[in-house]
């Protein structure tokens, strides 16, 4: 940078020995260069960007051209100030103001650029960042970082030692982290849940603590579930992060398999029982045809032959209602087709009765 400044000064000296004329030439020269750069970016690059199908590059060019021109102007004014050889205090004040203006010009540009990218992602409703709510978090984090960097560079522009400020901020941050450890635990767990995405809004989940319901909101501090009783439960993310989560809407499909267990009397026609159960599933319009329903003969029970009807439904939330409908349909079908559902049977052996000789029955 020093070599560049020296070359600019040498070129300015060609005009003559007057320092003010040299400074004026430097300032005007950089204004002209800035205008040329602005023209190249706005016209040539802008023309290329206008041919694309999206308007993102057009907006990007619109954000860049003004900061680039102002940067050339501020650089020219800074070099012109140094060329005049002002006293130390006026020169320090002038350069500090110019540097501060440059910092805030580029901070404003980067802030608008962050907003632009956020709008681009919001248009993509299928984006994972939008679905999980991570986009808002990232946008706010970037804005905070940009603001902190702007303050840091402003301090550097005025030769303010930032070491003590950074140390103080570290001590304050450490104290706050101890005071709000539960909140921070939930916050980090929320970020982990959003990034890992074990579930999303609309999924039906079951926690190992017993809570089950539809996910209605995933926040940084907590997750909300709507139970089948229409009661909303708010669970801290710290608890969810350390729990086993069963996502019944996860997997390759949202479909859910239900099981209807039933026992029939010994001596029943096994093939007829299987055919009846399959017909019960086929008669229910909400049972999926693919995968097809099937019946399994599970075991020889103590009092019955135990069968199980396995069929798929579209959504886990309908499980309770459809199991009720299938149970009713199975009972009616068995009654219609004279298939007996036996009562549990026990054989009782009496070895003796009070006041009578020992007998065995």
Note down pLDDT in tens along the chain; length 361 residues: 566 667 776 777 777 778 888 888 888 989 998 999 888 887 777 676 677 777 777 788 888 888 999 999 999 999 899 888 888 899 999 999 999 999 999 999 999 999 988 888 777 655 555 555 567 667 878 888 899 899 989 999 998 887 777 777 777 777 766 766 777 788 778 878 877 888 888 889 998 888 889 999 887 788 999 998 889 999 998 888 888 999 988 777 889 899 999 999 999 999 999 999 999 999 999 999 999 999 999 999 988 999 999 999 998 889 999 999 999 999 999 999 999 999 887 777 777 766 655 544 4
| Cα separation values, 354 from 349, 357, 358, 359, Å | 15, 8, 9, 11
**C-alpha span between 204 and 249 (Å, rounded):** 6
Contact 283, 336 (CB under 8 A): no
The CATH architecture one would assign to domain 161-251 is Roll (2.30)
Record: fold of 256-336: Alpha-Beta Plaits (3.30.70)
Where do the CATH 3.30.70.100 domains begin and end in the chain? Answer: 256-336
Instruction: For Cα atoms 314, 317, 323, give the angle at the middle one, nearest 5 degrees.
Output: 80
**Beta pairing class for 294-300 and 245-247:** unpaired
Residue ranges of the chain that CATH labels 2.30.30.60? 161-251
């Amino acid at each position: 940078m020093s070599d560049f400044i020296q070359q600019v000064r040498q070129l300015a000296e060609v005009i003559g020995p007057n320092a003010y004329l040299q400074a004026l030439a430097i300032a005007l020269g950089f204004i002209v260069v800035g205008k040329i750069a602005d023209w190249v970016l706005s016209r040539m690059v802008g023309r290329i960007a206008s041919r694309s199908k999206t308007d993102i590059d057009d907006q990007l060019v619109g954000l860049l051209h003004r900061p680039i021109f102002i940067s050339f102007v501020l650089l020219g004014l800074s070099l012109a100030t140094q060329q005049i050889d002002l006293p130390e205090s006026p020169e320090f004040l002038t350069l500090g103001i110019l540097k501060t203006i440059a910092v805030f010009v580029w901070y404003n540009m980067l802030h608008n650029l962050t907003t632009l990218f956020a709008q681009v992602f919001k248009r993509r409703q299928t984006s994972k960042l939008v679905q999980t709510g991570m986009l808002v978090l990232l946008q706010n984090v970037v804005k905070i970082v940009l603001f902190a960097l702007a303050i840091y560079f402003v301090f550097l522009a005025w030769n303010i030692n930032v070491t003590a400020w950074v140390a103080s901020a570290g001590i304050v941050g450490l104290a706050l982290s101890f005071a709000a450890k539960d909140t921070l635990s939930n916050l980090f767990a929320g970020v982990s849940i959003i990034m890992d995405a074990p579930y999303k809004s609309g999924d039906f989940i079951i926690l190992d603590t017993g809570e089950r319901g539809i996910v209605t909101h995933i926040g940084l501090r907590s997750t909300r579930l709507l139970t089948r009783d229409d009661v909303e439960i708010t669970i801290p993310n710290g608890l969810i992060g350390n729990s086993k989560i069963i996502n019944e809407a996860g997997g390759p499909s949202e479909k859910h398999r239900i099981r209807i267990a039933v026992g029939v009397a010994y001596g029943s026609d096994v093939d007829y029982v299987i055919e009846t159960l399959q017909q019960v599933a086929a008669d229910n319009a909400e049972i999926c045809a693919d995968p097809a329903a099937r019946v399994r003969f599970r075991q020889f029970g103590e009092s019955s032959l135990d069968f199980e009807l396995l069929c798929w439904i579209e959504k886990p939330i309908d499980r309770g209602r459809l199991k009720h409908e299938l149970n009713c349909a199975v009972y009616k079908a068995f009654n219609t087709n004279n298939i007996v559902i036996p009562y549990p049977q026990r054989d009782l052996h009496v070895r003796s009765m009070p006041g009578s000789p020992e007998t065995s029955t």
